[in-house]
Amino acid sequence: MKSTPQESKPAIKGAEILVRTLEKLGVDTIFAYPGGQSLELHQAMKGSKLRVILPRHEQGGAFAADGYARISGKTGCCMATSGPGATNLITGIADAYMDSIPVVFITGQVGTPFIGKNAFQETDIIGVTRPLVKHSFLVLDVNDIPRIVGEAFNLASSGRPGPVLVDIPKNIQQAKTVPVYPDFSRIEVRNHPPCSSVNPSDVEAIKKAIKKCHRPCIYAGGGIISSGASEELRKFAHASNIPVASTLMALGAFPDDDPLSLRWPGMHGTYYANYAINECDLLLAFGARFDDRVTGPVKTFAQEAYIIHVDIDFSEINKNKRADLGIVANVKDVLTELNKAPFRQDYAPWHKQIAEWKAAHPLTYTPAKPHCPPKPQYVLEVLYRLTRGEAVIVPGVGQHQMWCGQFYRYKYPRQFLTSGGLGSMGFGLPAAMGAKVACPDKLVVNVDGDGSFQMNIQELGTLYAEEIPLKMIILNNQHLGMVAQWEDRFYGSRHCNTVLKNHKEDGAYFPDFVTIAKGYNIPGRTIREREEVEDAIREMLETGGPFLLDCHTGYEEHVLPMIPPGCSYKDILTE
């Protein structure tokens, strides 16, 4: 629908039209860093209903909008200027794309007469990000702003969610018109057909497969959470008596402490999840994409299983692993239909086998000796106990991320927010910040590594300025731990640029994270012994406002289990 001016109302700038459109769409928060080509947009936001949060780096703003979307289920919103401002968003855009997170990124652009002329701070951000977004818009008519922005938010959140980019030249921001706002509840996205309804024959085919199998397993992916199907999954699993392996992106969709839970499969997943998902005779893949970190070599993955793959994105069917039955539909709708007449078998031998795997190969570690650096697993166990398992955990990327998945148990969706597909170091602090902004009443804890934390450490300034009471734990092992672990395992412990060299011969450590935090008026504490952990975490939890806990763990631990790259589940390392 094309907007046309209405002469009875005063003409306003395109920048103001954008802000009013965002308000009408229900956007309450935007993470925005200003610059020359977005100055008009920031001027228009002054005095608006939007909460404008100024990150200290555009990448921090992108990750914050991502974290906001992950925890709330709403579409995040981020803004930057042209050129370097826009290019600084790219890692955050890619992260949202890989994990199917709905975020609308708005960028300022040089005026239309200067596009393509290498003007100051001009970048073809549409072209640069084309492989990383669901769609992108270059606004060339001020009258199109309401429709385009409405389409962008609709597209970001519909079907398989993902990022959408809206690029607005400065002269379009400055142009005046009388805006016409469409009915946003009915706006149609061009060339984006709605998801088809569930075919009854597909539901019957799933039921038939369940009746014939003896060793079924559910492989639940992030689509369970994005579609809001967690309750339907729980109901179906219990009604059908089928164990559930949840991917890293789906942790919390099915409670970790449920007897049917296998926790998560993959390179650092549980022994029993990997064995169950590979030795089942029926694999029900719900909203999962057969990621290489789960499957390993696809030829050896679930070789004997009849595979049923349900996904809202038709391009995922048969992309990585060929399915015997591919169903393009909303997984929530499919589970709802299955729950109308569930079929249940005992599968006693299968459950007995799984119980034996669980007993023989639990997640475990060797405790630290007295007055020695605490093990990272122990820190997470204490955090779990003191928070009663209710905290939202937002890690960075690395060993600490895997330990967060292993040693904190999740019981509800959107409780574990992590950079899964892209594996972006620097994700943790800003994403946790955005999550806390979205859900201020929830306890949000950023658990990070010393390498990952430093990549966006400047967002400590945002925490203080915006009074965001985020809790932060740095599992500080003085290494880029995950890469160093690979060096230990596969390169004869030949460490090449993975030791951060953060200590001197006199024992002094740097950087001193607590001193840095105090520079931002954020309190903190450093611990170096196991005996300090519980008291320090209590202090962190009881302190009002943000708090940073720098926990020196030492570098001895490897994340186990581990399936070596290129190997199958039968090659899993447990020590």
Distance (Å, rounded) from C-alpha 459 to C-alpha 54? 10
Active-site hit among 121, 345, 353, 458: 121
Report the percentage of the chain scoring pLDDT > 70: 96
| Residue 120 appears among annotated catalytic residues | yes
* Residue 204 belongs to a domain: yes
Q: Is a pLDDT exceeding 50 seen at residue 3? A: no
* Residue 107 belongs to a domain: yes
ω into 297 cis (within 30 of 0): no
| Residue 49 appears among annotated catalytic residues | no
Active-site hit among 45, 79, 109, 170: 170
For residue 507, the model assigns a pLDDT of 66
Low-confidence winner among 258-272, 348-362, 497-511 (lowest mean pLDDT) = 497-511
* Residue 481 belongs to a domain: yes
Q: Could you tell me if 281 and 220 lie in one domain?
A: yes
* Residue 526 belongs to a domain: yes
Give per-residue pLDDT as tens, 38-79.
999 999 999 999 999 999 999 999 999 999 999 999 999 999
For residue 186, the model assigns a pLDDT of 76
* Residue 164 belongs to a domain: yes
| Residue 458 appears among annotated catalytic residues | no
Q: Could you tell me if 399 and 353 lie in one domain?
A: no
| Residue 482 appears among annotated catalytic residues | yes
Active-site hit among 58, 122, 151, 532: 58
For residue 170, the model assigns a pLDDT of 98
* Residue 18 belongs to a domain: yes
For residue 84, the model assigns a pLDDT of 98
Distance (Å, rounded) from C-alpha 418 to C-alpha 132? 18
Indicate the pTM of the whole model. 0.95
Active-site hit among 49, 120, 174, 356: 120
Q: Could you tell me if 452 and 489 lie in one domain?
A: yes
Q: Could you tell me if 39 and 149 lie in one domain?
A: yes
Which pairs with CB-CB distance under 8 Å and at least 24 residues apart come from 187-194? 187/1, 187/147, 187/150, 187/151, 187/154, 189/151, 189/154, 189/155, 189/158, 190/151, 192/135, 192/155, 192/158, 192/159, 194/158, 194/159
Task: Name the residue range of residue 512's domain.
Answer: 376-552
540: exposed, middle or buried (Cβ count in 10 Å: 0-12, 13-18, 19+):
buried
Residue 334, Cβ neighbours under 10 Å: how many?
27
Pick the last residue of a domain from 360, 391, 420.
360
Residue 380: give its domain's CATH number: 3.40.50.970
Active-site hit among 482, 532, 540, 557: 482
For residue 342, the model assigns a pLDDT of 87
Q: What is the DSSP string of 163-179?
A: -EEEEEEHHHHH-EE--
| Residue 490 appears among annotated catalytic residues | no
Residue 214, Cβ neighbours under 10 Å: how many?
11
Give per-residue pLDDT as tens, 505-528.
666 667 899 999 999 999 999 999
Q: Could you tell me if 121 and 65 lie in one domain?
A: yes
Mean pLDDT of the chain: 95
Q: Could you tell me if 220 and 173 lie in one domain?
A: no
Give per-residue pLDDT as tens, 159-200.
999 999 999 999 999 999 999 999 888 776 665 555 668 999
Give per-residue pLDDT as tens, 373-417.
999 999 999 999 999 999 999 999 999 999 999 999 999 999 999
Report the percentage of the chain scoring pLDDT > 90: 92
* Residue 431 belongs to a domain: yes
**Mode of pairing for the β-strands spanning 176-177 and 216-220:** unpaired
Residue 248: give its domain's CATH number: 3.40.50.1220
